[in-house]
Amino acid sequence: MYLDLQFEVDSRLLAAQWLEYSTNRCVIEFFDYDRQTWKAVSKVDVGGADACYRSISDNIR
């Protein structure tokens, strides 16, 4: 329910935002695709559950 993805077709970077139910915190994790696997690059806590109602762009400003 609280999953948002942001990506560009010509980029290897994927940003995924979701609610971690165990902590009730909204997080954004960035992944790099190397043509075979997705590798986690970084993970950011962006706030409480309400933060997941905002877009990824708004949360990383």
For residues 55-61, give the mean pLDDT. Answer: 94
What is the pTM assigned to this prediction? 0.89
Give the 3-state secondary structure of residue 33. Answer: strand
Q: Is the pLDDT of residue 9 over 80?
A: yes
Q: Which domain holds residue 30?
A: 3-58
What pLDDT, in 10s, does the model give residues 10-57? 999 999 999 999 999 999 999 999 989 999 999 999 999 999 999 999
Given this model, what pLDDT does residue 1 score?
Answer: 65
Contacts of 48 (CB under 8 A, 6+ apart): 24, 25, 26
Number of domains in the chain: 1
What per-residue confidence (pLDDT) applies to 2? 84
